[in-house]
Structure 1
Amino acid sequence: MTLETSRRHDAQYAREGGCNASLSTAMMDRRSMLSGMAGLAASVVPSRSADANRLIDRSRLIWLRNQAGEEFAGAFRGPEGVPAAEVMERLRHLFRDLRAEALGPLPVALVDVLSLIQAGWRHERPLLLHSGYRTRGTNALLEGAARASLHLEGQAADFGMRGISLPDLAEAASAFSRIFSFMGVGIYRNFVHVDVGPRRMWRGD
């Protein structure tokens, strides 16, 4: 699929409500770069397979479980790389603000990033989502949460993975941040934060 075709697909998805149009425009080139560079993942995360083609296929997969115990495991892009609207809607439900029971936006780029991180462990265990989208009310209740947190825009995820150390997850995320020249990565006591904003790294409490 050409870059132009990919852009048209993502723009169409944005118009259908999967994510807001302004965010989609900003993320199109990032999404294309993620897809085009997926084969580099084997050299920057501890993947057990050196087969780049298999890795590219796996970059379309996500296995995720939220704090309510709800989960999804499967492909979120079709054979041509087009986001599957029905699957993205299911994922948006998993990423909702559980405290407020409120749905928010979910950019495909965030799912792409999480999928590539998970590919380092061959998608053999779920990502445990601590926090995805947050309403302003929920964000205000969380000690230490930034007022302008990217969680408010649905552009961030706090997560862990059972049996994998947080430093290892953070290093995998940081490696992609260095390659792609975007992504915020923070490591906290109980989770790793990843967002699809500007490139930056930090350690929290």
Structure 2
Amino acid sequence: MTDITSTGLTRRALLGAFAASAVAAAPNYSQAAGFLRGGGDIRRIRMYSGRTGERIDMIYWIDGDYIKDAVKEVNHFMRDWRTDQVKSIDLRTIDIMAASHNLMDVSEPYMLLSGYRSPQTNAMLRSRSRGVAKNSLHMKGQAADLRLSSRSVGQIARAAQSCRAGGVGRYSRSNFVHMDCGDVRNWGR
């Protein structure tokens, strides 16, 4: 997933350049709706994976439309790295992650610990930990486990909870927050 090829700029690099100028020139956010208030006319997601070494800094929504190629890259990035299986990530989950990141006003990308999980991976993790649900929303592409080194689990969880758009789990001992687009609920400490 490189941004520059020997022939010049890729679409990803071009979007990245656009992102820098679009963020600086973003319009008044006061009319943005719902939990993405403050999102303006663009939505952006920034993550890296310690497991694969990959990074993503992607504008995936502009002026009311999801960018199909960008969403496809997010889906690939959030794949089950153990099996290399890709599943479409529910756009509501991506929106919750982006809105929470915006609310914390950080430039640091999320560290993605877990996005999509195949049933095999979920069963393996469940056999090792009581904290893994049998019917985890990870298996539906509706959840992510995330960490930021510059913010505490409590700060990340409060940002996600303020979206009032899904489940938020605090895993303080493991230093991550679970976000999903299921029923509004929270757990952990």
- Normalized against structure 1, the TM-score is what? 0.69
Structure 2, unaligned runs of 5 or more: 1-31
Say yes or no: does 1:111 pair with 2:111: no
- Return structure 1 stretches of 4+ with deviation > 6 angstroms: none
Structure 1, unaligned runs of 5 or more: 1-34, 41-54
Check conservation: 2:41, 2:64, Cα contact below 8 A: no
Cα gap change, 1:158 to 1:169, in 2 (>3 Å):
same
Q: Secondary structure at the match of 2:95?
A: helix
Cα gap change, 1:37 to 1:59, in 2 (>3 Å):
farther
How many Å apart are 1:59 and its aligned residue? 5.8
How many Å apart are 1:74 and its aligned residue? 2.7
* Alignment partner of 1:148 out of 135, 151, 154: 135
How many Å apart are 1:166 and its aligned residue? 0.7
The amino acid across from 1:132 in the alignment is G
For residues 1-205 of structure 1, what are the structure 2 equivalents within 5 Å? 36-38=33-35, 40=37, 55-57=38-40, 60-67=43-50, 68-78=52-62, 80-142=63-125, 143-144=129-130, 145-177=132-164, 182-188=165-171, 189=173, 190-203=175-188
Distance in 2 (CA, whole Å) between partners of 1:132 and 1:102 is 11
Distance in 2 (CA, whole Å) between partners of 1:115 and 1:39 is 8
Corresponding position of 1:26: none
Check conservation: 1:95, 1:133, Cα contact below 8 A: yes
Larger Rg: 2
| Deviation digits for residues 177-196 of structure 1 (CA, Å, limit 9, x no counterpart) | 2xxxx401100122100100
Structure with the larger strand share:
2
The amino acid across from 1:150 in the alignment is L
Corresponding position of 1:7: none
How many Å apart are 1:116 and its aligned residue? 0.5
Structure with the larger helix share:
1
Corresponding position of 2:4: none
How many Å apart are 1:122 and its aligned residue? 3.1
Check conservation: 2:144, 2:180, Cα contact below 8 A: yes
Distance in 2 (CA, whole Å) between partners of 1:39 and 1:125 is 19
Check conservation: 1:65, 1:128, Cα contact below 8 A: yes
| Deviation digits for residues 81-102 of structure 1 (CA, Å, limit 9, x no counterpart) | 2110100111001100001111
Q: Secondary structure at the match of 2:53?
A: coil
- Percent identity, aligned pairs only? 30
> What is the count of residue pairs matched by the alignment?
151
How many Å apart are 1:66 and its aligned residue? 2.0
Distance in 2 (CA, whole Å) between partners of 1:39 and 1:91 is 19
